[in-house]
Amino acid sequence: MNIYVLMKRTFDTEEKITISSGQINEDGAEFIINPYDEYAIEEAIQVRDEHGGEVVVVSVGNDEAEKQLRTALAMGADKAVLINTEDDLEYGDQFTTAKILSEYLKDKNADLILAGNVAIDGGSGQVGPRVAELLNIPYVTTITKLEFAGRNVTVVRDVEGDSEVIETSLPLLVTAQQGLNEPRYPSLPGIMKAKKKPLDELELDDLDLEEDDVEAKTKTIEIYLPPKKEAGKILEGELADQVKELVQLLHTEAKVV
């Protein structure tokens, strides 16, 4: 089975984000594999181990993404591909990424493509479905279970607190939701093996793409942090007095009554 995983390099969820000149300040920041993509990588490895085949992890970005791709290889992926756009693109959006990935995948005869449900930095959840549309293959999002019977696939997906069961067939793209599996930590032998596994680097020219072909369809006007929350107010005194004061504050300050 030809299995591909779409991986994104994102900020560590524990990192404190700072803004400088209207842009996210990356100096000293720690980057990781997008957590939802870890579920996709783990599921790909489990599918390969059960049904055979090869797992290739693909990322669009700059040289810095090599570290996260090596981590994916250490987890158990067979190959990695970095499509380096650092010298070709000043700005890209979800359309840009999906277009690049679909061009790479269009002649790979992929049976199964996995991606994270969302990226924790942008949170749009667009790239996976866009890639499937461009490849003209079925897709199912937010999956929590994946079962195969030959070329037929049964998928369980999360739908706002409930589950939906879908039957489809390969080729297929799915996006992984929390609960699909428990991603493994790279072992020491896995880390050592990852150093010898192939990590190919491509550029837009290698995909016969020009900058105009992947020009972003959206533009970021401003990036800013949410305002700091003000300290809460503690009411004191008798309960009846507190209730009167609360009603007055809701009316005069909060202006909600």
Query: How many C-beta atoms lie closer than 10 Å to residue 129's C-beta?
Result: 17
Band of pLDDT at residue 41, cut at 50, 70 and 90:
very high
- CA–CA distance, 143 with 158 (Å, rounded to integer): 6
pLDDT computed for residue 40 by the predictor: 98
Is 141's pLDDT higher than 90?
Answer: yes
Taking residues 178-205, report their average pLDDT.
95
Tell me, yes or no, whether 148 and 236 share the same domain.
no
The verdict on 22 and 81 lying in the same domain is yes
The better pLDDT of the pair 234, 59 is held by 59
The Cα–Cα gap between 221 and 91 comes to 12
- Here the CATH number for the domain that contains residue 151 is 3.40.50.620
Average pLDDT over the chain reads 92
Q: Are strands 19-20 and 9-11 parallel, antiparallel or unpaired?
A: unpaired
Q: 67 Cβ partners below 8 Å, 6+ apart?
A: 9, 31
Domain that includes residue 163, residue range:
2-214
pLDDT tens sequence across 55-99: 999 999 999 999 999 999 999 999 999 999 998 888 889 999 999
Please indicate whether residue 93 or residue 232 has the higher confidence score (pLDDT). Answer: 93
The contacts of residue 215 (CB under 8 Å, 6+ apart) are 96
Cβ contacts of 231 within 8 Å, gap of 6 or more: none
Q: What is the pLDDT of residue 88?
A: 85
Question: Rounded to the nearest 5 degrees, what angle is found at the Cα of 164, between the Cα atoms of 168 and 140?
Answer: 45
How many domains does the structure of the chain reveal?
2
Co-location of 183 and 257 in the same domain:
no
Question: Which pLDDT band, with edges at 50, 70 and 90, does 131 fall under?
Answer: very high
**Separation of alpha carbons 88 and 192, rounded Å:** 32
User: Is there a single domain that holds both residue 34 and residue 115?
Assistant: yes
Q: What is the pLDDT of residue 3?
A: 98
Give yes or no: residues 209 and 232 share one domain.
no
Residue 42 shares a structural domain with residue 165: yes
| 119: in domain | yes
Confidence (pLDDT) at 220: 83
Its pTM stands at: 0.86
For residue 200, which phi and psi values (nearest 5 degrees)? -90, 145
CA separation for the pair 79, 235 (Å, rounded): 61
* In-domain check, residue 222: no
For residue range 12-31, what is the model confidence (pLDDT) as tens digits?
877 777 777 767 777 777 88
Q: Do the domain assignments include residue 162?
A: yes
Residues 139 and 181 in one domain: yes
pLDDT number for residue 20: 74
Q: In this structure, is residue 219 part of a structural domain?
A: no
